[in-house]
């Protein structure tokens, strides 16, 4: 009975985040597994067919949901454990998978270990990523790429005082995409960005080796790593690339041929050393790392076609060079516990990264060689942070903590160039920007009764010279959380606000106010049903000074305030019913609704074209909702049949991109879960 309770209790937890209808979370088979020889086996496999029927903007559906028709292994789990901890080759195998075969989101996780001798962990993931690129380039930066990750980690003698580690990680992104290139005109500002095909090919590989030694309570760790990055995406001519095709009717720019190769090969090497000890009253952790990055690049781009006035034009651009980035970090963490109620921690961190490199740029426009410019850039960011935090428990039911943090940052840039073959043509300029931040935190935690907790904390910060107008300068944050948790009922509510004012002078003033609220309830009074409900409100309003050029005939400098208001109401409701001993029903509903600032039209009555342009993007009301239902029927103790339905509806209220992205989609699945 107790075990059943805990299994059911775990199932309640699944409600709180249930948003994707499949895979089916209901367990199958005996949770204790089956014994075979010296091992115990537990397994579940769910194989099924997922379907979707999409109406409206399919590009937005693929960017938001992206489930397609087809069969797949929706989920699986396998565990094999040796019963005495002395297996011949292994003591444990854990394998979990999700979506293998056809889902846009696939995952596999494997652990194999033998006590005292080795431990191997593997993670493999796939994300079939689609992005229509609507916001940034009116759809021209379309991407339909797939990203695959894998991580492997082997630890030898994991329970010993001497441990060896080796690892390998790989990250590959490939697939078709569109990008844009400014094409041909002798005035870049008047050139037109035309789309070209690119077949993305990016690879990143990392190799690691290291070890740990424990001596007299001190642990020393060293890790050496090498990683390699390669990008050699081929760019191709897109037939019909013309200004007219992208909606610029008075511009005659068009491409007739285009070839571009821009390979980048990078190699990084680095090491990490860590020394730590943890004693009864104090502990120390000291860490240093060095990471070197280098990218070698070249680019050859040849295009021909017609300029904006219809004249034949051609251009070749040649670029080559390399960039370096050594990064040094150091951290020292000192903890003291003078009494069982007090902990004081001081941390000092240092980080220095220096990015530099030359890049030579040659342009030949309509047969005329514009010469070669050798650019040199340096960006150095040095940061020193010191923080002290104290945590004191006054009584068992009340405690306080407070901290003071100081950070100093230096940003140094060097901008230089030289015209190849031109005497005395070089120039170099050096700039420095420094910023100091003082911030303080304080918090109180109260446990007035056993299952009731309340935490309130506040932070205030002052920076004297932030890098950008939207950076934090004078900010404060307040955070509160109250929770009541017993086995059958969980209630919580939270509030968080973050105010930042960055207003050194005049029109550039910037302010940002965010206030987040949440309320949650999970209820399972009976063991045949449970309910989970949550409501969240996320408010954000910002106002920032802007300056820009606009005008009907000749653009003039104008200034104003860019306002953005977002009021997002989000809700989640889930209910699980065990209708009979064999049938489980789950129903859920999730909604995200941004009501914006309450206006009914995008431009809010603004008639001046410039005012209307900015008024129209001050808020972006939309509704995204998704009801779902799922039935899971136990046919045999080791066999279940599942069927589910999920509906997606995306509706944006204003047509701020020139078109609506609204879609609605019926999706569903049917599957069989079984255990051997």
Partner 1 sequence: MRILLLLLVSLAAAAQNQAVPSATGTGFVGSNVCKTCHADVWMNFYKNPHFKSIASGKEPPDKTGCEGCHGPAQKHVAAGGGKQTIPRAFSLMQPKQALETCLGCHARDLSKANIQRSEHTQNDIACNTCHSIHHSATPKYLLAKKQSELCYTCHATVFAQFSMPSKHRVNEGVVQCTDCHNPHGSFEATWRMAQHPRMVERALNAESPCVKCHTDKRGPFVFEHPPVRVEGCEICHFPHGSTNAKLLRRPVVFTICLECHNGADSFGTRNNGVPIQSSRHNMLDPKFQKCTTCHVAIHGSYSDAFFLR
CA–CA dist 46, 78 (Å, integer): 12
Residues 373-402 that bind partner 1 (CB under 8 A): 375-377, 379, 381, 383, 385, 387, 389, 391, 393, 396, 399, 401
166: contact with partner 1 by CB under 8 A: no
The single residue among 300, 351, 497, 670 that binds partner 1, judged by CB under 8 A, is 351
Query: Which residue, 126 or 631, has its beta carbon nearer to partner 1?
Result: 126
Residues 220-279 that bind partner 1 (CB under 8 A): 221, 225, 227, 229, 231, 247-248, 262, 264, 270, 272, 274, 276, 278
Query: Which residue, 202 or 664, has its beta carbon nearer to partner 1?
Result: 202
Query: Which residue, 306 or 654, has its beta carbon nearer to partner 1?
Result: 654
176: contact with partner 1 by CB under 8 A: no
CA–CA dist 169, 146 (Å, integer): 17
The single residue among 41, 47, 105, 197 that binds partner 1, judged by CB under 8 A, is 105
Residues 24-63 that bind partner 1 (CB under 8 A): 32, 40, 60, 63
Query: Which residue, 236 or 341, has its beta carbon nearer to partner 1?
Result: 341
Give the binding range for partner 1 (CB under 8 A) out of 47-55, 128-136, 418-426, 577-585: 128-136
507: contact with partner 1 by CB under 8 A: yes
The single residue among 53, 55, 70, 86 that binds partner 1, judged by CB under 8 A, is 86
Residues 622-661 that bind partner 1 (CB under 8 A): 622, 624, 650, 656-658
| Residue 291 CA: distances (Å) to CA of 225, 329, 377, 628 | 9, 9, 20, 47
Query: Which residue, 102 or 562, has its beta carbon nearer to partner 1?
Result: 562
Give the binding range for partner 1 (CB under 8 A) out of 50-58, 214-222, 419-427, 666-674: 214-222
Give the binding range for partner 1 (CB under 8 A) out of 44-52, 486-494, 523-531, 628-636: 486-494
Query: Which residue, 257 or 558, has its beta carbon nearer to partner 1?
Result: 558
- Gyration radius of the chain over CA positions: 30
DSSP 236-275: E--TT-BTGGGT-TT---EEEEEEEE--EEEEEEEEEEEE
CA–CA dist 5, 387 (Å, integer): 45
| Residue 436 CA: distances (Å) to CA of 308, 364, 440 | 49, 46, 13
Nearest alpha-carbon partner for 634 in 76, 44, 69, 103:
44
404: contact with partner 1 by CB under 8 A: no
Residues 582-611 that bind partner 1 (CB under 8 A): 590, 592, 594, 609-610
CB-CB neighbours of 72 under 10 Å: 23
Residues 521-550 that bind partner 1 (CB under 8 A): 534, 536, 538, 542, 544-550
ω into residue 23 within 30 of 0, thus cis?
Answer: yes
Residues 3-22 that bind partner 1 (CB under 8 A): 3, 6, 9-10, 13-14, 16-17, 19-20
SS (H, E, C) 83-113: CCCCCCCCCEEEEEEEEECCCCEEEEEEEEE
Beta bridge pairs of residue 484: 452, 491
Query: What stretch of H or E contains 650?
Result: strand 639-652
Query: Which residue, 92 or 670, has its beta carbon nearer to partner 1?
Result: 92
85: contact with partner 1 by CB under 8 A: yes
For the purposes of burial, counting CB atoms within 10 Å of the CB of 459, is it exposed (0-12), middle (13-18) or buried (19 or more)? middle
Residues 269-328 that bind partner 1 (CB under 8 A): 270, 272, 274, 276, 278, 283, 285, 287, 289, 291, 293-295, 297, 299, 301, 317, 319, 321, 323-325, 327
CA–CA dist 669, 645 (Å, integer): 7
DSSP 13-69: HHHTT--S--S-----S-TT-EEETTEEEEEEEEEEEEEEEEEE-HHHHHHHT---S
CB of 545 to partner 1, least distance (A): 6
Query: What stretch of H or E contains 233?
Result: none
Query: Which residue, 89 or 162, has its beta carbon nearer to partner 1?
Result: 162
216: contact with partner 1 by CB under 8 A: no
CB of 409 to partner 1, least distance (A): 6
Query: Which residue, 52 or 180, has its beta carbon nearer to partner 1?
Result: 180
Beta bridge pairs of residue 110: 95, 122
Query: Which residue, 184 or 461, has its beta carbon nearer to partner 1?
Result: 461
Query: Which residue, 3 or 607, has its beta carbon nearer to partner 1?
Result: 3
| Tokens representing residue 397 in the block | 């039911």
| Residue 426 CA: distances (Å) to CA of 359, 417, 610 | 14, 5, 41
Residues 428-457 that bind partner 1 (CB under 8 A): 431-433, 435, 437, 439, 443, 445, 447, 453, 455, 457
Query: Which residue, 102 or 494, has its beta carbon nearer to partner 1?
Result: 494
């Amino acid at each position: 009975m107790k075990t059943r309770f805990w299994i059911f209790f775990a199932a309640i937890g699944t409600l709180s985040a249930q948003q994707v209808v499949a895979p089916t979370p209901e367990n199958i088979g005996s949770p204790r597994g089956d014994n075979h020889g010296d091992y115990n086996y537990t397994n579940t496999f769910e194989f099924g067919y997922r379907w979707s029927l999409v109406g409206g903007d399919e590009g937005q559906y693929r960017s938001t949901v992206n489930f397609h028709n087809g069969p797949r292994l929706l989920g699986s789990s396998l565990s094999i454990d040796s019963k005495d901890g002395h297996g011949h080759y292994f003591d444990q195998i854990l394998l979990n998978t999700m979506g293998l075969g056809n889902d846009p989101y696939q995952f596999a996780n494997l652990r194999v270990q033998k006590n005292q001798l080795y431990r191997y962990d593997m993670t493999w993931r796939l994300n079939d990523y689609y992005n229509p690129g609507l916001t940034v380039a009116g759809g021209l930066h379309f991407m339909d790429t797939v990203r695959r990750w894998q991580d492997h980690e082997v630890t030898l003698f994991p329970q010993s005082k001497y441990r060896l580690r080796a690892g390998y990680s790989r990250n590959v992104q490939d697939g078709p995409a569109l990008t844009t290139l400014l094409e041909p005109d002798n005035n870049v500002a008047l050139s037109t960005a035309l789309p070209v095909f690119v077949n993305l090919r990016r690879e990143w590989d990392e190799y690691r080796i290291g070890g740990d030694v424990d001596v007299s309570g001190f642990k020393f760790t060293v890790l050496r790593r090498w990683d390699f990055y390669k990008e050699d995406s081929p760019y191709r001519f897109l037939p019909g690339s013309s200004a007219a095709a992208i909606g610029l009717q008075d511009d005659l720019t068009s491409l007739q041929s285009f070839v571009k190769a821009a390979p980048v090969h990078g190699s990084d090497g680095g090491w990490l050393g860590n020394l730590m000890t943890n004693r009864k009253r104090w502990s120390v952790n000291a860490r240093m790392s060095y990471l070197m990055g280098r990218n070698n690049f070249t680019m050859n781009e040849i295009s021909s076609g017609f300029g904006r006035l219809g004249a034949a034009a051609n251009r070749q651009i040649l670029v080559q060079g390399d960039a370096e980035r050594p990064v040094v970090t150091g951290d020292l963490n000192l903890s003291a516990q003078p009494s069982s109620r007090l902990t004081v921690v001081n941390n000092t961190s240092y980080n220095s990264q220096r990015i530099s490199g030359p890049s030579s740029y040659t342009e030949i426009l309509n047969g005329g060689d514009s010469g070669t410019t050798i650019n040199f850039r340096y960006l150095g960011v040095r940061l020193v942070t010191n923080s002290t935090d104290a945590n004191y428990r006054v009584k068992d039911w009340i405690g306080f903590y407070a901290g003071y943090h100081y950070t100093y940052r230096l940003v140094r840039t060097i901008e230089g160039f030289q015209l190849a073959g031109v005497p005395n043509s070089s120039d170099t300029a050096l700039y420095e920007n420094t910023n100091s931040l003082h911030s303080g935190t304080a918090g109180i935690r109260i446990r007035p009764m056993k299952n009731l907790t309340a935490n309130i904390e506040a932070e205030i910060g002052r920076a004297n010279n932030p890098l950008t107008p939207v950076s934090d300068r004078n900010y404060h944050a307040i955070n509160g959380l109250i929770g009541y948790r017993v086995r059958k009922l969980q209630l919580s509510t939270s509030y968080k606000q973050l105010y930042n004012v960055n207003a050194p002078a005049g029109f550039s003033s910037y302010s940002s106010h965010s206030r987040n609220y949440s309320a949650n309830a999970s209820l399972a009074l009976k063991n045949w049903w449970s309910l989970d409900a949550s409501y969240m409100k996320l408010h954000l309003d910002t106002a920032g000074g802007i300056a820009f050029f606009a005008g009907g005939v000749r653009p003039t400098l104008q200034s104003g305030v860019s306002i953005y208001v977002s009021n997002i109401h989000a809700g989640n409701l889930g209910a699980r019913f065990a209708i009979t001993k064999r049938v489980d029903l789950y129903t859920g509903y999730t909604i995200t609704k941004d009501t914006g600032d309450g206006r009914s039209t995008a431009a809010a009555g603004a008639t001046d074209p410039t005012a209307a342009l900015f008024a129209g993007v001050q808020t972006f009301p939309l509704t995204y909702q998704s009801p779902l239902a799922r039935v899971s029927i136990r046919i045999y103790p080791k066999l279940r049949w599942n069927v589910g339905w999920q509906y997606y509806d995306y509706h944006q209220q204003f047509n701020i991109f020139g078109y609506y992205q609204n879609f609605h989609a019926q999706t569903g699945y049917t599957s069989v879960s079984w255990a051997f």
